[in-house]
């Protein structure tokens, strides 16, 4: 039976980009459906009634939500070009860092982008502290798991495209030469064809996040 793979996403979502990379790494053909999050489709609401968010992967009519869950599903379903290592300890490590990205680093960076005054300073400090942990983990390595792109790299991909947009729009600087290993990692990542050819357009991202920034920081 021919497989049917659909990916509900938006043009800009870093969470959806993870799935695009994974599907393309595996060489899976799929249909991409771009949602308008201000007017979510009935299908999206049907497929992800709990979170009502993208990305959603629909494989032969069955929906899977939450990007890290989807990545693991993809890896278990299509075995070629594995994104999780064989060794249980290494798998646990990849999952640990993926969780750290979404539960610690993203909230701190998001607060630095959206808050003002003392709250922003605290969020910047927290972000820098979190980035230091990542820097330590990447020391002496090309990717999180070693020589090859894996789960943690895919999950941290937003550091390669979204963080520079946040920095450009807000004037805040997080990723600089205090983090040489992280900078080298973003370069390695962005040179991979699967990554390079799928970045959302820079100018469009600036317009989107400039508008968002202004919403959080209205002119006084």
Ligand X SMILES: N[C@@H](CCC(=O)N[C@@H](CS)C(=O)NCC(=O)O)C(=O)O
CB of 175 to ligand X, least distance (A): 20
Q: Is-contact 25 83, C-beta < 8 A? A: yes
**What's the DSSP call for residue 51?**
T
Q: Is-contact 195 21, C-beta < 8 A? A: yes
From 4, 46, 52, 199, residue interacting with ligand X (rule: CB under 6 A): 52
Q: Which of these segments, 63-71, 170-178, 181-189, 205-213, binds ligand X (CB under 6 A)?
A: 63-71
* Site for ligand X, residues 19 to 48, rule: CB under 6 A: 37
**What's the DSSP call for residue 12?**
S
Q: Which of these segments, 51-59, 71-79, 91-99, 143-151, binds ligand X (CB under 6 A)?
A: 51-59
CB of 198 to ligand X, least distance (A): 15
| 151 contacts: CB under 8 Å, gap ≥ 6 | 68, 71, 72, 75, 83, 84, 94, 95, 98, 144, 145
* Site for ligand X, residues 68 to 87, rule: CB under 6 A: 68
Question: How far from 55 is each of 38, 115, 146, 184, 215, CA to CA, in Å?
Answer: 15, 26, 27, 28, 24
Q: Which of these segments, 66-74, 140-148, 174-182, 212-220, binds ligand X (CB under 6 A)?
A: 66-74
Q: Is-contact 119 68, C-beta < 8 A? A: no
Q: Quick check: helix, strand or coil at residue 33?
A: strand
CB of 216 to ligand X, least distance (A): 15
Q: Which x/- pattern, by CB under 6 A, does the window 103-132 give for ligand X?
A: ------------------------------
Q: Which residue lies nearer to ligand X by CB, 145 or 200?
A: 200
Q: Which residue lies nearer to ligand X by CB, 71 or 179?
A: 71
From 66, 72, 75, 135, residue interacting with ligand X (rule: CB under 6 A): 66
Cα 171–Cα 176–Cα 177 angle in degrees, nearest 5 = 150
Q: Is-contact 119 111, C-beta < 8 A? A: yes
Q: Is-contact 103 158, C-beta < 8 A? A: no
The reply to whether 67 sits near ligand X by the rule CB under 6 A is yes
Q: Which residue lies nearer to ligand X by CB, 112 or 179?
A: 112
Which residues here bind ligand X, judged by CB under 6 A? 13, 15, 37, 52-55, 66-68
């Amino acid at each position: 039976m021919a497989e049917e793979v659909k990916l509900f996403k938006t043009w800009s979502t870093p969470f959806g980009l993870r799935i695009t990379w994974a599907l393309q790494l595996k060489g899976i053909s799929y249909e991409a459906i771009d949602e308008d999050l201000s007017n979510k489709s009935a299908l999206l609401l049907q497929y992800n009634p709990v979170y009502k968010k993208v990305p959603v992967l629909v494989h032969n009519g069955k929906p899977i939500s939450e990007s890290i869950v989807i990545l693991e599903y993809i890896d278990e379903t299509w075995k070629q070009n594995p994104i999780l290592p064989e060794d249980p300890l290494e798998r646990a490590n990849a999952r640990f860092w993926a969780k750290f990205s979404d539960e610690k680093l993203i909230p701190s960076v998001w607060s630095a982008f959206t808050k003002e005054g003392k709250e922003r300073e605290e969020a910047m400090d927290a972000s820098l502290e979190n980035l230091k942990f990542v820097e330590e983990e990447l020391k002496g390595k090309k990717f999180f798991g070693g020589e090859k792109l894996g789960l943690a790299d895919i999950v941290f991909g937003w550091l390669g495209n979204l963080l520079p947009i946040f920095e450009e729009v807000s004037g805040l600087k997080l990723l600089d030469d205090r983090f040489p290993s992280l900078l080298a990692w973003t370069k390695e990542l962005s040179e991979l064809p699967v990554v390079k050819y799928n970045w959302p357009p820079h100018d469009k991202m600036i317009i989107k996040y400039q508008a968002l920034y202004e919403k959080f920081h209205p002119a006084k």
